[in-house]
Structures are given as structure tokens and as C-alpha cells.
């Protein structure tokens, strides 16, 4: 089996704010450097990135931890919110570090944080409706999810590889790349003028 596809969601306002912290903009390396162990610093340095990093994380849980443990370098990470795929990237490194997670995203009211971290290639912003790919991927998602081997196997059979699937369905511009609906360009002034 080739690459796995992981989904992370940002459905609520708090998660949406975290996109600004570590997906829309990179995390400054200086922000987290002092909380990295020597091993983690070495892992991060293998990325060849000196100044900033992109990342997401999962809170501890019976479902999240095994999913995170199964994640490998080169796996695909797709962000979903508002019934659309919004970002495409690949996993570069993963670390388990509550102190770094708190530095980047803070904590939940119960004190937990998104400590099962995975660092990503620079996320590419896309806008692909979930229903357009529900015959291949899931129709909806809740939280941190891994697309089943059966589904990724079918994608590989149809497209030749996960990379070719990503290119055609997310990155080529045929469907995505922040497509705007014609009504998105209509301003309040346009409506008033038309009336």
C-alpha cells in the first residue's frame, strides 16, 4: 500500500483560529525551539527549514493516538471545514510534545492540548466540495480521520497513485484552487444598483 490519506477538521471557531496559528501562516521556529528535545530538534532540522514550520495536532484519545501512530512521512493531510476540502499538504515529521502544542495553540478548558503533532509541507489552499469526491473519499468527517485502505486502494487503481489523484482532483485547477462562485464577486453596491 502507498500513501495514506488523513483528514483534520476545523469545524468550530476555535479550530478555525488555530488554522491562522499554524496552517495559514507558519509557526516561527523560535517560538517552539526551547521546548523541543534534542531528538525533536534533530528531526525538525532534517526538514531543512531554518525559520518556520506548518503543523497540526490531535488531542489525546483512544481513537486519535493510534491514528497518529499510524501516520508516516509522506502521507497526505487534507483539511476539511464547511463541507469543503480546504488545504492539501504532506506529513514531514511527527512529534508528541504537549509543551510545544501549548506554545502554538494553547489548551482546552480541561487542560488538554493538541500534543500529538504532525508537521506538514506548506499547505496548498483549495476549495473542493466534499460531495464532489464522496464516491472516492468519505462524504463527511468528524475530527481526525484516516481514509480507509479500501478507498485509497480504489483511488490508486483509478488514478495510478495518490499523488496523481491529488494533482487531478485538488491541485490542477480543474476543480479547486480557491475557486470562487460567481456570486462571491457580487458586492452590496451591485445589489443596490440592480434594485
Under 8 Å between Cβ of 29 and 53: yes
Is the pLDDT score of 193 beyond 80?
A: no
Is the pLDDT score of 174 beyond 80?
A: no
Is the pLDDT score of 18 beyond 60?
A: yes
Mean pLDDT of 130-137: 96
Percent of the chain at pLDDT exceeding 70: 86
pTM reported for the whole predicted model: 0.85
- Spatial neighbors of 140 by CB under 8 A, at least 6 apart, are 83, 130
Give how many domains the chain has, as a whole number. 1
Question: Which has the minimum average pLDDT: 109-118, 119-128, 133-142, 178-187?
Answer: 178-187
129 forms beta bridges with 84
Q: Residue 43: its pLDDT value, please?
A: 86
Percent of the chain at pLDDT exceeding 90: 74
Look up the domain containing 171 and give its range: 5-194
The C-alpha cell at 15 is 479550530
Q: Return the H-helix or E-strand segment holding 153.
A: helix 149-159
Amino acid at each position: 500500500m502507498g500513501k495514506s490519506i488523513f483528514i483534520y477538521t476545523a469545524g468550530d471557531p476555535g479550530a478555525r483560529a488555530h488554522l491562522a496559528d499554524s496552517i495559514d501562516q507558519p509557526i516561527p521556529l523560535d517560538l517552539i525551539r526551547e521546548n523541543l528535545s534534542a531528538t525533536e530538534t534533530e528531526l525538525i532540522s532534517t526538514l531543512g527549514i531554518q525559520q518556520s514550520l506548518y503543523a497540526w495536532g490531535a488531542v489525546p484519545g483512544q481513537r486519535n493516538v493510534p491514528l497518529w501512530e499510524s501516520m508516516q512521512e509522506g502521507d497526505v493531510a487534507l483539511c476539511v471545514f464547511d463541507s469543503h476540502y480546504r488545504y492539501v499538504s504532506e506529513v514531514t515529521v511527527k512529534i508528541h510534545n504537549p509543551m510545544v502544542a501549548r506554545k502554538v495553540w494553547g489548551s482546552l478548558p480541561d487542560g488538554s492540548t493538541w500534543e500529538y503533532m504532525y508537521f506538514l509541507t506548506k499547505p496548498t489552499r483549495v476549495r473542493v466540495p466534499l460531495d464532489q469526491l464522496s464516491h472516492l473519499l468519505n462524504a463527511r468527517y468528524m475530527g481526525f480521520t484516516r481514509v480507509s485502505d479500501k478507498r485509497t486502494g480504489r483511488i490508486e487503481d483509478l488514478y495510478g497513485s495518490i499523488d496523481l489523484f491529488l494533482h487531478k482532483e485538488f491541485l490542477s485547477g480543474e476543480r479547486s484552487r480557491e475557486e470562487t462562485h460567481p456570486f462571491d464577486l457580487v458586492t452590496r453596491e451591485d445589489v443596490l444598483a440592480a434594485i
